[in-house]
Structure 1
Amino acid sequence: MSAQGKDDAQRPRLRSDEWYAGDDRNAYLHRAWMRRGVPADAFEGRPQIAIANTASDLTPCNAHLNEVSQAVQRGVYEAGGIPLDLPVVSLGETLVRPTAMLWRNMAAMAMEEMFRANPIDGLVLLGGCDKTIPALLMAAASVDLPAVVISGGPMLNGSFRGQALGCGTDVWRLGEEVRAGTLTAELFARSESSMIRSRGHCNTMGTASSMSVVAEALGMTLPGMAGTPAPDSRLLEGSHAAGRLAVDLVRSGTTISKVITRESFHNAIVALAAVGGSTNAVVHLLALAGRLGIDLDLADFDRSGAGVPLLVNLQPAGAYLMEDLYRAGGVLAVLEQVVDLLDPSAVTVTGQTLVEAVAGHPVWDPEVIRPRTTPLQADASIAVLRGNLAPDGAIVKPAAASASLLVHRGPALVFDSVEDLKARIDDPDLPVTPDTVLVLRGCGPRGYPGMPEVANLPLPKKMLQQGVRDMVRICDGRMSGTAYGTVVLHVAPEAAAGGLLGLVRDGDTIVLDVPRRVLQLEVPDEELALRTPPATLTDGFAAPRRGWERLYVDHVQQASTGADLDFLVGGSGSDVARESH
């Protein structure tokens, strides 16, 4: 037996040994092609850590992650591992058409295959923009390797005319003021260069920030990392430590399934409510649970979130921004305020429980992180609605809604597509009053396809001119986590899957009762039985002939179960057949 073979027999086996260990021809080929300047002992029991890097100039929120990767690499090497930068599919929320959500499952599938196919022992997952952290987590969970998440962090606060400017949220607000005639188009354009002040993702509690919080509450980050601003040197310090931790996770055999449990999802839902997080986190958490084989459904969001107060005073539900949250004590200080609501058994990648990790973290600014005794809202959980309009569920975010509209009864005004909405919403003859319920359909996972962020449809111009700034809106699509308003979304089943939303007509009475969790169309069953969806709706449903869109439309599930592809639910493990050259 060669010296290499003797050493192999005396140490614990690594997954990467399937490629590198031994003295046969295959091992020779693998080592030789990977040598390229690395020391000979790189393949002798040193954990191979892939840094799954979503850096891309076309994902501007993640463009700085190459620098973060370098910090991780130093930590991995210092701990005795071998760092391997692995560029993976990246999705820029503001750029990718028709919607980044169409590609989340594709990104997760591609990542999963690369994680399994390569000689990788552990993972560091670098994300930031909305779909990148969900896709990374879904992929890593499917392969079930040791992994740690690093969020690239929010941008610094911007300001315009002396006031803080929230990325995303103020786009919607200022855009509506232009349509209302209270802000000039010139001033609106001038605000553009003030909003994006630095590297990083949106600085509101949008989807990117929410998924960073969720990743920490699931136990998948170094405690305290979530919400670290992208330009802050402490992000690089924490990334170095995360690289070291990834090596330790491999040596201890701590895979994702040993960290994320059903109890972890409970904690994530509590955290989501306490920070006023994005509704998009609901569909991502459901998809992640499906990959792990954990029984999580919409009802759990009501159960786990019940009674959780909204403590974080951030846009879109409040006034401040992510940089303020970090200086006020960060996510750990928020969770310390609701520690009694957390499940004490859920662990983190450090081996500590989450409850242990949050202990003793004070709040430094009670205006940003409210005391438990004076919350922004006493009960901030995302509400799950049911009724004949959404037998499989729909959701609404009370923290971002108008309290006066949470119980509402009004006539429907229906739009059959985004194009129909754009063509008619500013028509001065539109039959609309403040009591009207705006309905936009054909925007679900299958119908659009991809479930775009259009549910927070703009208010009719004639309503804006009358001073109206919120109305009840219902849609089978999603809305941006930076958006606000009384918006009922993720209606399931969607219109394209035979949901009753496809049968609603102008003037039909719709009842919304959030306290009672009801969404109901007040039309007799006998009449509904005689209706069929109009051609103006069905002609607009997606009917792709080839490629990813065809695969997606044929296999995507509904929002109520995470909008994953049906054949990707459940894990696949890290085993891969050894090849023969």
Structure 2
Amino acid sequence: MPNEGKRVLRSQSWFAGRGAQNFANRSWVRSRGVPMDHFDGRPVVGICNTWSELTPCNSHFRDLAQYVREGILEAGGVPMEFPVTSPGEMLTRPTAMLLRNLCSMDVEETLRGNPLDGVVLLMGCDKTTPALLMGAASVNLPTIGLSAGPMFNGSFRGKPFGIKDAWEMAADMRAGRATNADFEEAESCLTRTVGVCNVMGTASTMASMVEVLGVGLPDNASIPAMDARRRVMARMAGRRIVDMVREDLTLDKLLTREAFENAIKVNAAIGGSTNAVIHLTAVARRMEVQLDIEDWHKVGRGVPTLLNLQPSGSYMMQDFHEAGGLPVIIRDLCASGILHGDALTVTGRTLAENNADAICRNPEVIHSVAKPFMADSGVAILRGNLCPDGAVIKPSAAEGRLLKHTGRAVVFENQEDLMRRVDDPDLDIDPDSVMVLKNCGPKGFPGMPELGMLPIPAKLLKQGVTDMVRISDARMSGTSFGAVVLHVSPEAAVGGALAVVRDGDLIELDVAARRLELLISEQELQERLAAWQAPDPVVTRGYVKLYVDTVNQAHEGCDLQFLVGKSGSDAPAAQH
């Protein structure tokens, strides 16, 4: 489709004209077998691929990318696939969160520095989704997201088996209620296909955010990874991005304040991961949309949870898709006036229009606003002298009796201290104690690992204890559960109040009042803080030093300070 309606595309500054540089650019691309007519003004579309054998959730992306490529070609575009950093949650040490910002830099600089008019983002495992969105937001090209899709339901001894079930079995092993043979058999039953976790963990939460933000096509979140419909979606995403380039439908027209408010509300409705708080904050700040941690309280409070899905409920992602998927929830929330139904999406239609015809096929899985699964149980933001800049908890994943609780602190100074002492039979702890973990925040670990669901001590597991109040400056997996207070800010490593909590201190948690308090006098707290000494730096070189030196705190999205904001798509002119 020459000239594309006479719009001058960004890629033409590389390919159009008779200059020596334009000649060289075309010649080098033609070495791949690209015909001359692909330089006649057709949209050049990047396929940003996080495929990696080190990221099993994304290991089918080679296949999906080919369907995206076919769609781009069918629509008259020119596909250009490229790899970026792929931090996998399970294998990456010390934590994939450390590499989220690095991946975002990779995406941003690749998009800005190359002849691309639009991009399809292939993302799945937890950190690849926010990383790709962050990088793309800073460049602001026409963008569409394609998620990996969940793996099929696990099946263990004739029953459905999800990640939450695996965590519970691990606890049973430590308590002596399950054997190594049980665990080894379950290992082969849990992850039966590629794709992200089969529950509403962080990966499926963020895929849902892509869909409700309007950056993904309807059903993006729930179609299983190995379902043929995921391949059809890949092909349709390839077709649609070409039209988005022609329409100049850039990311800033989708990622508006209203879109982020919709995301906060849908996260509550699906019982989504607490990690969404950090990731959406980071994406919004890249887009220069004002989004504060308090918005999770102001915007999300009162939104009912509609989805009966692990870890907050019983079912799994495959069941969610077969029940109608996220379109059913969006339709109901729009009809109830809870969402901004007029928000624009990648289809060129509004959110309400995209989902108007969705049908619920299993009301046991997807409940309605009129008869919710849980009332007012999304992410709660806590404040108090222990977390003046905020902390988060997911009430739907906790035992209700612990949502208002006072107990004495049992303190672990870091991960090593926790692992060394948690199963010590002489540990001075009881079911009413409050477990406290320090130095696992963005700077302190570094990278803010998923250690927030502290393991309940073995001696308490043997007594039948299944939940305790646990507090840390760490995160937890979206597949985790319990009365777990996370993202305490400021973190211990920068001198937050968490750093000076001592064994035996009383701590009060009141989720309904949104309060978390260390029950000591203000004078004593200030004296302890004045006497606190910062730990010595743990790294002195490389990206990790850059991260530690410049990372923001959890309530600010854990982005690097110099990456916040957008700088557009202009590449250095001297290169062309």
Q: 1:86-165, aligned counterparts within 5 Å?
A: 86-165=82-161
- Structure 1: distance between partners of 2:530 and 2:162: 40
Q: Contact 1:502/1:533 (CA < 8 Å) preserved in 2?
A: no
2:338 aligned partner: 341
2:354 aligned partner: 357
Q: CA offsets per residue over residues 285-305 of structure 1, 9 Å max, x none?
A: 000001000100111111221
Q: Contact 2:310/2:479 (CA < 8 Å) preserved in 1?
A: yes
1:223 deviates by 1.6
3-state DSSP of counterpart to 1:319: coil
- 1:71–1:525 CA distance, 2 compared to 1 (3 A): same
- 1:253–1:77 CA distance, 2 compared to 1 (3 A): same
1:3 aligned partner: none
Q: CA offsets per residue over residues 48-80 of structure 1, 9 Å max, x none?
A: 000000011010000001110000000000100
Q: Contact 1:220/1:348 (CA < 8 Å) preserved in 2?
A: yes
1:11 deviates by 2.5
2:364 aligned partner: 367
1:479 aligned partner: 476
Letter in 2 for 1:265: F
3-state DSSP of counterpart to 2:299: helix
- Structure 2: distance between partners of 1:509 and 1:376: 34
1:307 deviates by 1.3
1:580 deviates by 5.0
1:435 matched to 2:432: yes
Among candidates 193, 198, 212, match of residue 217 of structure 1: 212
3-state DSSP of counterpart to 1:341: coil
Q: CA offsets per residue over residues 135-154 of structure 1, 9 Å max, x none?
A: 11000000000000000100
Q: Contact 1:302/1:381 (CA < 8 Å) preserved in 2?
A: no
- 1:180–1:50 CA distance, 2 compared to 1 (3 A): same
Among candidates 469, 483, 488, match of residue 485 of structure 2: 488
1:12 matched to 2:20: no
- Structure 1: distance between partners of 2:531 and 2:94: 24
Q: CA offsets per residue over residues 385-408 of structure 1, 9 Å max, x none?
A: 000000000000011111110000
1:162 deviates by 1.9
Among candidates 495, 520, 539, match of residue 517 of structure 2: 520
2:67 aligned partner: 71
1:29 matched to 2:28: no
Q: CA offsets per residue over residues 127-168 of structure 1, 9 Å max, x none?
A: 10000111110000000000000001000011112221113x
Question: Please, what TM-score do these two structures have when normalized by structure 2?
Answer: 0.97
> Which consecutive residues of structure 1, in runs of 5 or more, have no partner in the other structure?
1-6
Q: Contact 1:213/1:331 (CA < 8 Å) preserved in 2?
A: yes
After superposing the two structures, state which structure 1 stretch, 373-382 or 426-435, moved more.
Answer: 373-382
Among candidates 182, 186, 210, match of residue 181 of structure 2: 186
- Structure 1: distance between partners of 2:84 and 2:19: 31
- 1:461–1:9 CA distance, 2 compared to 1 (3 A): closer
Q: CA offsets per residue over residues 543-578 of structure 1, 9 Å max, x none?
A: 210000000000000000100000000001000122
- Structure 2: distance between partners of 1:286 and 1:305: 14
Letter in 1 for 2:141: L
Among candidates 438, 442, 445, match of residue 442 of structure 2: 445
3-state DSSP of counterpart to 2:381: strand
After superposing the two structures, state which structure 1 stretch, 103-112 or 357-366, moved more.
Answer: 357-366
Q: Contact 2:113/2:572 (CA < 8 Å) preserved in 1?
A: no
- 1:396–1:298 CA distance, 2 compared to 1 (3 A): same
Q: Contact 1:446/1:542 (CA < 8 Å) preserved in 2?
A: no
- Structure 2: distance between partners of 1:252 and 1:403: 50
Q: Contact 1:449/1:542 (CA < 8 Å) preserved in 2?
A: no
Q: CA RMSD in A?
A: 1.5
Identity %: 51
- 1:580–1:456 CA distance, 2 compared to 1 (3 A): closer
2:274 aligned partner: 279
Letter in 2 for 1:355: A
Q: Contact 1:55/1:62 (CA < 8 Å) preserved in 2?
A: yes
Q: CA offsets per residue over residues 167-217 of structure 1, 9 Å max, x none?
A: 3x2232111010111111221121101001011110110000000000001
Aligned length: 572
- Structure 2: distance between partners of 1:378 and 1:10: 51
Among candidates 231, 246, 249, match of residue 254 of structure 1: 249
> Which consecutive residues of structure 2, in runs of 5 or more, have no partner in the other structure?
none
Q: Contact 1:503/1:533 (CA < 8 Å) preserved in 2?
A: no
Moved over 3 A (4+): 7-10, 532-535
3-state DSSP of counterpart to 2:222: coil
3-state DSSP of counterpart to 1:284: helix
Q: CA offsets per residue over residues 482-518 of structure 1, 9 Å max, x none?
A: 0000000000000011100001000101000000000
3-state DSSP of counterpart to 1:49: strand
3-state DSSP of counterpart to 1:579: helix
- Structure 2: distance between partners of 1:186 and 1:10: 65
- 1:424–1:51 CA distance, 2 compared to 1 (3 A): same
- 1:46–1:182 CA distance, 2 compared to 1 (3 A): same
1:465 matched to 2:486: no
1:301 matched to 2:296: yes
3-state DSSP of counterpart to 1:197: coil
Letter in 2 for 1:487: V
Letter in 2 for 1:92: G
1:503 aligned partner: 500
Among candidates 414, 418, 435, match of residue 417 of structure 1: 414
Among candidates 226, 231, 241, match of residue 226 of structure 2: 231
1:166 matched to 2:162: yes
Q: 1:534-573, aligned counterparts within 5 Å?
A: 539=535, 542-573=537-568
- Structure 2: distance between partners of 1:145 and 1:25: 27
1:227 deviates by 1.2
1:533 deviates by 8.8
- Structure 1: distance between partners of 2:122 and 2:503: 46
- 1:9–1:362 CA distance, 2 compared to 1 (3 A): closer
1:111 deviates by 1.1
1:534 deviates by 9.0
- Structure 1: distance between partners of 2:281 and 2:58: 24
Q: CA offsets per residue over residues 11-32 of structure 1, 9 Å max, x none?
A: 2211001100100101000000
1:4 aligned partner: none
3-state DSSP of counterpart to 1:411: strand
